[in-house]
Structure 1
Amino acid sequence: MKPRLSVYTAAQQGTDYARLLDVARTAEDCGYEGFFTSDHYLKLGDVPGLPGPIDSWTVLAGLARETSRIRLGTLMSSATFRLPGPLAITVAQVDRMSGGRVELGLGTGWYEAEHTAYGIPFPPLGERFDRFEEQLAVITGLWETPPGETFTHEGRYYRLTDSPALPKPVQRPRPPLLIGGDGPIRTPRLVARYADEFNVPFLSLDATVPLFDRVREACRSAGRDPDSLGLSVAQVLCCGRTDAEWRRRAAALGPEGGAFAKSRISGTPSEVVDRIGRFVEAGVDRVYLQPFDLEDRDHLEVVAAEVMPQLA
């Protein structure tokens, strides 16, 4: 099985639309399948974070009109940021703007500091999961309502009455929906019910495999074919044509035993192929690669030229 490679950017760490457009166009020109961005309003860690946060769906709307082939989406939008009805409208509009190239990654939200920094309510985890589950029902319900019919939802947190459920996305019955994380009970159940793809972000292979097993079992318990669920991982990218080149890129991430040590796909092209291959053997059909230096276009180009052909 040939894995699909997408580029992932942690845009909250400090960038702007022009830089993200350049990365997306480079990824498209190089043959990557997708360009995905985080959906955060506050930096993580000790970085300047300038010029400030982006709004992911504003950026993706722009990219929808300035790219032509590459798929576009979020890893992951936070259910605390937007009401489900307006979010369904936004994503459907961007899907239409892109000609049907959009995917929605959605999660509960976890970063409390960004909520307090921008005045966004941050309920306890149990309530966030309850809202997340209702949002999944509302968003998919709106998208899947046949044209000419209306959608009604009577939930604990969200109530919609006779919604025209417009606009409709280009992709039918709806754009792909991505859910990720390592939650032991509710996450697998929601994946089995709603998700087209399950994503494990920035964990080692040994930590990833049990999570895949858990969602597959949830699919079987729900009467769903586990093979109908896509499996993906996100990993930090450190690739170079030589040992010196990839180690130079890896040095920017901190020490070998640091925070990103277990979430790197790193090495020369042949070593990167081997590391991706191990995830593929575990069932992964899509890999999101995160290059930290968004000005280093050669990083994406070396993977396209020397890794992608070996993955065929």
Structure 2
Amino acid sequence: MEPGDSTAQSYFNGSSSEFQRSISPKTTMSGFPGNLSLAQQEAVDVLQHLLAKLKEPGSKYYERYGGLVERHADLDEFCFSCIRPYVWRFLEGRWNLDALKLVGGDLRSDSRGVYFSAIHGLDKQTRIYIGQSQHLRIRIAQHWNFRYRRDNPSLHYHAMQQSIFNVFGIVAVLPPPNAGNHALPGMDCPDLLLNILEMWMALAFKSLPKQTLVEWLPEGAGKDTPFGPLNISNPLETGGSERGWVDLSDSKDLLIQDYIRPEKKKEGAIEKMDEEPEKKPDLPPPTEKNRAIHEQLVIQISSRAMLIMVTAAFVGFAVFSRAGGSVPKPNGRWR
């Protein structure tokens, strides 16, 4: 946890009441700090809109998330406490690659959390991907591993292959799974909580396709961003039986078009095949005709070999006899 993250620290180490005492004395009725910045207030609006949609009985996500959201009335407060303060500084400032570098975070941490991957492409365009993991250190190491990217193709990895600079940062961190933390809001289902946090941050950073932003952002929220989105699937569907992807065929991003075109997929399959161990081609079973031809060739080859061997032996014997039939002895002797 970063220095200065007192809000999250107090919430992680104690009860909700301790969290209330740790924040600014001036609070709103919902328990959030009363001095929320504009970026924080917009993010909270997005989160509360997201949670409200999840607990709508008619939502297709109600079966998985409805009970979790309804059980924890202060789930929004806890989610807010999980966000690292450097994220708010970024959201409040200018959105560029240099500002993203300052978000930072411990990339070697084994904590559970949400991270971003910012990619500056060969086309000078910056794109962003939001992800989650039960082990941040291992997950980020996988992203850096070329062989892993090769064996698990995705738009995110395609962008990394076409980049000149990449930076990772930690966006949110869950408390450790200690006995005292299971009673915190949402910690009874940490996998679903991670999905909600990832979805929230994907909406805040606008790393999702335009269609998804329109569906999940509250009315009036801005949907434009200087960064290109790299998230395709809905984070809420992570771990579910089905996952859907948005149709990106109409995207104006040349990188996306390069990724989804059929020729590129075929090229990727060929590249992957070249890296695999060489396999012997499957031959058709021999027919009677092929077997007879094969046996005839073996007989012919064997006869020719025998004739050559006999001739060579005869010539060698003749040469040996003409030389007198004696083998010269060495002049020296053993001592």
- State the TM-score, normalizing by the size of structure 2: 0.21
- State the TM-score, normalizing by the size of structure 1: 0.22
Structure with greater strand percent:
1
Q: Which has the larger radius of gyration?
A: 2
Structure with bigger RCO (C-alpha 8 Å, 6+ apart): 1
